[in-house]
Amino acid sequence: MSFRTLDDLLPTVNFASRATAMPGADWGVRLIPDCQLVYVVSGQAELTVGRHTYDIRAGECVYYDSEIPHRLLSVGTTDYYSVHFVWRQTSSLPVHPGHSIQYLDRQFLDGEPRYPEIEIPPYGEVTFPTKLTISGLEPILTKLVKEYELEQPGYTGILRALMLQALSIIFRQLLDKDSTHKSYGRIDPAIQAMQEQPGKNWAVSELAAMCGYHPIHFAKLFKEEIGLLPKHYIIGERIKRAKRALLQGEKVEAISERLGFTSIHYFSHQFKKLTGLTPTEFRMHGRPPN
């Protein structure tokens, strides 16, 4: 995949529909040229990807990648959304996948699913699983289908924006679920301290002492738990607060000093590194129109 972060995504929707499948309707075994997201509104379906089989019930969705042998089966009368898309593509013009779908014998139903991973600072990598339950998708999928079917002026750009919104919602909820189940208990005192005082010049030895570890072991443990070194985590926390302060009208110099940056130049460098914009550019882009 040619992307690393959410900001790298440039999705193109190739097909979007809402349909009702009768019991026993069978798609597969097949290969598709793009990726597909199937959301079940009511009823039940079954997806087999390689050697893995997933039951899909109302409110659940499945994702599978291009060129992966799979079979989708409607177990009962099933109302569902289907979206074919590409994660990143310069053109937003849909290319219908139907002409490039390959149908295979069942003996070729083999292999492993692929799980896209996106880096979301400061949380680390988030994996997009095959089966997932995400709230709030249905209204977005409804708009997607409408835009795709009506093809009104500018629809390709709206399709891209809606798909980006859907993917962002999915990754946010995956991140929330991951955070709910993941315990950072061993380094919680350090995380809490950095969140409460992001402007302090924290030494690794000081943070390590809070958790009862040698600094070298603490830094290794922190990287394993969070996916970042402590110094990168604290910068991420500072930039979060800097963005809010900029939109509230606080001066760049004051923000830089309050959040513990050694200079305005260093603050601007770190801000642009994480957001793609300078503090001034961010303030201009984020300010509501007059």
For the stretch 65-92, pLDDT in tens is 988 899 999 998 999 999 999 999 999 9
Q: Is the pLDDT of residue 182 over 90?
A: no
Model confidence at 96, in pLDDT bands (50, 70, 90)?
A: very high
**Residue range(s) occupied by CATH 2.60.120.10 in the chain:** 6-180
Q: State the pLDDT at residue 223.
A: 84
- Which residues is 278 bridged to in the sheet? none
**Residue range(s) occupied by CATH 1.10.10.60 in the chain:** 188-286
Cite the beta strand spans of the chain per DSSP E.
Answer: 12-21, 26-31, 35-42, 44-49, 52-57, 61-64, 70-74, 78-86, 102-103, 117-120, 124-127, 131-132
β-strand 61-64 against 12-21: which pairing, if any? unpaired
- DSSP H helices, 95-154, are 137-150
Q: State the pLDDT at residue 257.
A: 93
Supply 249's token pair: 């009208």
Q: Which residue has the tokens 């083999």?
A: 110
Q: Is the pLDDT of residue 240 over 90?
A: no
Contact predicate 27/56, CB 8 Å: no
Contact predicate 264/270, CB 8 Å: no
Mean pLDDT of 31-52: 92
Q: Is the pLDDT of residue 290 over 80?
A: no
When mean pLDDT is compared over 53-67, 138-152, 270-284, the highest value belongs to: 138-152
Q: State the pLDDT at residue 180.
A: 44
pLDDT digits (tens, 9 = 90+) for 98-142: 989 999 888 888 777 888 888 876 667 788 899 999 888 999 999
Please tell me what DSSP assigns to residue 75. S
Has domain 6-180 been given CATH number 2.60.120.10? yes
Q: Which residue has the tokens 């970042």?
A: 228
pLDDT digits (tens, 9 = 90+) for 244-282: 888 888 999 999 999 999 999 999 999 988 888 899 888
pLDDT digits (tens, 9 = 90+) for 218-232: 998 888 777 788 998
In angstroms, the CA 146 to CA 42 distance is 20
In angstroms, the CA 55 to CA 44 distance is 7
pTM of the predicted protein model: 0.65
Q: State the pLDDT at residue 126.
A: 84
* Three-state DSSP state, 180: helix
Q: State the pLDDT at residue 287.
A: 47
**CATH value of 188-286 in 1.10.10.10, 3.30.2350.10, 3.40.1350.10, 1.10.10.60:** 1.10.10.60
Contact predicate 17/101, CB 8 Å: no
* Bond from prior residue into 38 cis (ω within 30 degrees of 0): no
